[in-house]
Structure formats: C-alpha cells, structure tokens
Amino acid sequence: MLLNEMLLLGAVLFCIGVYGVLARRNGVLVLMSIELILNAVNINLIAFGAFHDTVMGQIFALFVITVAAAEVGIGLAIVLLLYRNRRSIDLDQVDLMKG
C-alpha cells in the first residue's frame, strides 16, 4: 500500500470538512464538518505512525479523539444555548460581534 493513498484520502476529507464549515449555516452541521476535519488529521497521524513503525501516531490520534469528544460536548452545549435563546441555530443570525 502506498503512503500517499492514505494521505490523499485525508486531504480530500479535510477539504470536504473545510467546505462544510464554511458553507453550512446549521450549527450542528458545522460541528459535524469539524469532526470530518479532525478525522482527516487522524488518518494522517495513523498513516505516518505506521510508516515510521511507531505507536506515537496512535497515541496522538487517541489524544485527538479525546479532545474532539470534549469539543463536541462543549460545541453542542453552545448550540443548545443558542437555540434556547433564539429559537434557531442559524449561524448567520449570530453576529453580535459585528463591528
């Protein structure tokens, strides 16, 4: 198997995730897209770990998974709060920081 197969797949997933983050207005969907990005990163970590024959890739991927779980928890809590206050999770309506 080629190293690049894994890496290119990671790159494609990453870019799809970026598109989702930038294009979707639904807060939950944006969080899902971020999960896609994080998974793309994990694929890279695992691929390089296997390439260099070290478990460090796995360990870092585990950390990423853990942090991603925490991030989803907080992110969904924020979306929930948003929904409760505005009856909507449309991110375009969240522009209190407009200068």
Partner 1 sequence: MLSANIAAAETAGKAVAASGWFLENAWLIWLFPAVSFLLILLFGKRFPRGGSEIGIAAVGASFVFGLLTAIQWISEVEGAGGGGAEGEHALGAGGLVVAAEGEASGGVSALTRSITWLTNGAEAIGAGIMIDGLAVMMIFVVTVVSLLVHIYSTDYVAGDRRYTHFFAFLSLFTASMLFFVTASTTIQMLVGWELVGVCSFVLIGHWWEEKDNSDAALKAFFTNRVGDMGIIIGVSILFFGAGTFDVIGVNEAAINGSMSHTVTLAAALCLTAAVMSKSGQFFLHTWLPDAMAGPTPVSALIHAATMVVAGIFMVARLYGVFFEGYAIGGSSINMLALIGGLTTLVGATLAFVQNDIKRVLAYSTVSQLGYMVLALGVGAWTAALFHLFTHAFFKACLFLGSGSVSHAVHSFDMKKDMGGLRQHMPHTYRTFMIGTVALAGLPILSGFWSKDEILVGTGGWGLFGGTGGNGAYTVMLAMGMITAALTGAYMTRVVYLTFFGEFRGHGTPHESGPRITVPLWILGGLAVVAGFINFPAGFQLVPASWEEKFLQWVEPVGVSYFPAIKHATPSWTLAIVSVIVALIGIGAAYYYYFVRVRAVSPAATELPDGPTSRSAVARLGHRILVNKYYLDWLYTTVIVGFVKGPLARAAYWTNQNVIDRVVNEAGTRSVQAGNIVYHKVDQLVVDGIVNATGKISDSSGEELRRIQTGKVQQYAAIMFAAATILAGIFIIVI
Partner 2 sequence: MIAEHVAFGIIAAVMVASALRVVTTRDIMHAALYLVIVLAGVASLFLLVGAEFTGITQILIYIGAVIVLFLFGIMLTRSDFDQDEETDHKRKFPAILTALLLLAVMVGALVDRFEDVKLDANLPGGQTPQTTAQVSDELFSQYIVPFEAVSVLLLAALIGAIVIARREEGG
Positions in 38-97 near partner 1 (CB under 8 A): 91-92, 94-97
Which one of 19-27, 54-62, 64-72, 75-83 is the stretch in contact with partner 1 (CB under 8 A)? 19-27
11 touching partner 2, by CB under 8 A: yes
Instruction: Answer with the entry of partner 2, partner 1, none that 85 interacts with (C-beta below 5 to 8 A by kind).
Output: none
Q: How far apart are CA 78 and CA 54, in angstroms?
A: 38
Closest Cα to residue 68, out of 44, 32, 43, 16?
Answer: 32
Q: Which residues does residue 90 pair with via DSSP β-bridges, in sequence order?
A: 26
Question: CB atoms < 10 A from the CB of 56, how many?
Answer: 11
Positions in 58-77 near partner 2 (CB under 8 A): 58-59, 61-63, 65-74, 76-77
